[in-house]
């Protein structure tokens, strides 16, 4: 196997001696590959974010909800949040207790809310109407509310989830109405939460939002927890040495705010965060195979099996993912070229990477898409009746285990009801 362009995975020792071209051959591509050691490191980074003692990291399972993945996260002492009954179901399967699950929902039906109530999972509602609905379903119960701190952040308009333009959360201006509804149904507000958006690379907006959230918190007595949300970014341009989020500096600023609040509030409230991407993105790559190389006019295209059914982020958010190249054959070239890497879906928007400078790529090469573990498999689909990929895990002892099988044709047709 030739390591044609493998700077980042080498530096991380991502494959730990495992040959990615052999993984591609054995399990087929597209293939999501996870590294257990890196996953565990990321969990620990965030567990150690602050020194404030009552601090819980809730992994945001929507970023990557594979069962084995959740089991590892649990073994690191993290708790989880859930966005749907389906996530609650899988999290329980992974061994999380109801009190370790935080259901953060928006615009859900009575049935979905009842599911969480019956499971004993704390629910956060994000509108006055959903608070009413909750009160009717569970009078006398405990509830949390997601507030909009008025500050948003994020890498793309679609993922900014606080501030003036978002559908999420309750505007603090409605606190008097919140209090009325709580009283009307004898509800106890045990926590408040926020989530300002995804993928911030500097902490200013996050720290500012915490300030606003704590001001909101002071308007309620006896809160048990305050959840500061997720959004911790990771550097997607590692091959250009993009700097990671400065957790040490961020942690210091958060710590200051938390200790000060606890002193004023008079109780040791539990603080939580809800990172998704930070924990799951960097411990995974997506392997694909080059099936065609061609020119259209003067543009060179590399045609792969990595369609947007497998990784949606590039077309959904214009996201950048680094690409590395491994080669089984001994074809050699010193050339570097500008190429556009595309998938096999019948849409011209099916572009994984636009105009990248890469070493010359040949048919049968194995491409390795970096930082694919967050919103990768989780957002994959069967579009074009393609099969969702398998997922494998490189364990700490270098053993490779299959943690999800590739879909098969039966999976595609399971729910059809033919006409008689």
Ligand X SMILES: *Cc1c(COP(=O)(O)O)cnc(C)c1O
Tell whether residue 312 is a contact of ligand X (CB under 6 A).
Answer: no
Cβ nearer to ligand X, comparing 74 with 146: 146
Tell whether residue 274 is a contact of ligand X (CB under 6 A).
Answer: yes
Return the residue nearest ligand X (CB atom).
276
Cβ nearer to ligand X, comparing 205 with 358: 205
* Contact in structure between 27 and 390 (CB atoms under 8 Å): yes
Tell whether residue 377 is a contact of ligand X (CB under 6 A).
Answer: no
Nearest distance in Å: CB 366, ligand X:
28
Beta bridge partners of 57: 273
Matching residue, tokens 């059914």: 309
Tell whether residue 229 is a contact of ligand X (CB under 6 A).
Answer: yes
Residue 283 appears among annotated catalytic residues: no
Contact with ligand X (CB under 6 A): which of 8, 29, 82, 195?
195
Contact with ligand X (CB under 6 A): which of 30, 149, 163, 230?
230
Tell whether residue 373 is a contact of ligand X (CB under 6 A).
Answer: no
What's the rounded Cα separation, in Å, for the pair 106 and 321?
Answer: 30
Both tokens of 18, joined, read 């495992």
Rg (CA), the chain: 23
Nearest distance in Å: CB 71, ligand X:
19
Tell whether residue 313 is a contact of ligand X (CB under 6 A).
Answer: no
Tell whether residue 130 is a contact of ligand X (CB under 6 A).
Answer: no
Cβ nearer to ligand X, comparing 21 with 60: 60
Cβ nearer to ligand X, comparing 24 with 61: 61
Nearest distance in Å: CB 317, ligand X:
11
Q: Which of 43, 105, 283, 346 is catalytic?
A: 346
Tell whether residue 275 is a contact of ligand X (CB under 6 A).
Answer: yes
Contact with ligand X (CB under 6 A): which of 9, 130, 138, 198?
198
Tell whether residue 20 is a contact of ligand X (CB under 6 A).
Answer: no
Contact with ligand X (CB under 6 A): which of 277, 313, 327, 386?
277
Tell whether residue 123 is a contact of ligand X (CB under 6 A).
Answer: no
Cβ nearer to ligand X, comparing 63 with 367: 63
Q: Which of residues 49-88 bind ligand X (CB under 6 A)?
A: 60, 62-63, 81
Tell whether residue 358 is a contact of ligand X (CB under 6 A).
Answer: no
Cβ nearer to ligand X, comparing 238 with 277: 277
Cβ nearer to ligand X, comparing 16 with 270: 270
Interface with ligand X: number of residues (CB under 6 A) = 18
Stretch that binds ligand X, among 38-46, 110-118, 179-187, 192-200 (CB under 6 A): 192-200
Cβ nearer to ligand X, comparing 62 with 74: 62
3-state SS, one letter per residue, for the chain = CEEEECHHHHHHCCCCCCCHHHHHHHHCCCEEEEEHHHHHHHHHHHHCCCCCCCEEEEEECCCCCCHHHHHHHHHCCCEEEECCHHHHHHHHHCCCCHHHEEEECCCCCHHHHHHHHHHCCEEEECCHHHHHHHHHHCCCCEEEEEECCCCCCCCCHHHECCCCCCCCCECHHHHHHHHHHHHHCCCEEEEEECCCECCECCCHHHHHHHHHHHHHHCCCCCCCEEECCCCECCCCCHHHCCCCCCHHHHHHHHHHHHHHHHHHHCCCCEEEECCCHHHHCCCEEEEEEEEEEEEECCEEEEEECCCCCCCCHHHHHCCCCCEEEEECCCCCCCCEEEEEEECCCCCCCCEEEEEEEEECCCCCCEEEECCCCCCCHHHCCCHHHCCCCEEEEECCCCCEEEEECCCCHHHHHCCCCCCC
Stretch that binds ligand X, among 5-13, 16-24, 84-92, 223-231 (CB under 6 A): 223-231
* Contact in structure between 50 and 18 (CB atoms under 8 Å): no
Residues found near ligand X in the complex (CB under 6 A): 60, 62-63, 81, 104, 195, 198-199, 229-232, 274-278, 374
Query: Would you please indicate which residues are annotated as catalytic (active-site) residues?
Result: 346
């Amino acid at each position: 196997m030739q390591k044609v362009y493998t700077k980042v995975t080498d530096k991380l020792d991502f494959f730990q001696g495992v040959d990615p071209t052999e993984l591609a051959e054995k399990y087929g591509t597209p293939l999501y590959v996870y590294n257990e050691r890196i996953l565990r490191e990321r969990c620990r980074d965030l567990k150690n974010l602050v020194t404030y003692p009552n601090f819980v990291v809730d992994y945001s399972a929507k970023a990557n909800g594979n069962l084995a993945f959740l089991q590892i996260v649990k073994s690191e002492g993290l708790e989880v949040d859930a966005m749907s009954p389906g996530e609650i179901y899988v999290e329980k399967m992974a061994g999380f207790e109801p009190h370790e699950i935080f259901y953060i929902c928006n615009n859900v039906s009575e049935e979905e809310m009842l599911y969480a109530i019956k499971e004993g999972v704390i629910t956060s509602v994000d509108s006055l109407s959903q608070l009413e609905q909750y009160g009717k379903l569970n009078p006398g119960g405990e509830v949390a509310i997601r507030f909009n701190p008025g500050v948003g952040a994020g890498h793309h308009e679609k993922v900014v989830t606080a501030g003036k333009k978002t559908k999420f959360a309750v505007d603090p201006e409605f606190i008097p109405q919140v209090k009325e509804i709580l009283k009307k149904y004898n509800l106890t507000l045990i926590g408040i939460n926020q989530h300002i958006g995804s993928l911030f690379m500097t902490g200013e907006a996050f720290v500012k939002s915490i300030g606003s959230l704590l001001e909101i918190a002071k308007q309620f007595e006896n809160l048990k927890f305050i959840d500061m949300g997720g959004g911790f970014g990771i550097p997607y341009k590692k091959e250009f040495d993009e700097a990671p989020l400065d957790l040490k500096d961020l942690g210091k600023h958060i710590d200051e705010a938390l200790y000060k609040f606890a002193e004023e509030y008079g109780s040791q409230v539990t603080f939580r965060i809800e990172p998704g991407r930070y924990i799951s993105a960097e411990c995974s790559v997506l392997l694909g195979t080059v099936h065609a190389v061609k020119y259209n006019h003067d543009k060179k295209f590399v045609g792969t099996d990595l369609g947007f059914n497998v990784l949606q982020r590039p077309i959904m958010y214009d996201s950048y993912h680094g690409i590395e190249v491994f080669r089984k054959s001994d074809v050699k070239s010193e050339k570097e070229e500008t190429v556009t890497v595309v998938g096999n879906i019948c849409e011209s928007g099916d572009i994984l990477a636009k105009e990248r400078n890469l070493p010359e790529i040949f048919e049968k090469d194995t491409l390795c898409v970096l930082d694919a573990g967050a919103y990768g498999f989780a957002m994959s689909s069967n579009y074009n009746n393609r099969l969702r990929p398998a997922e494998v895990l490189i364990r700490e002892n270098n053993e490779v285990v299959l943690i999800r099988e590739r879909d098969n044709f039966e999976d595609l047709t399971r729910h059809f009801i033919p006409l008689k």
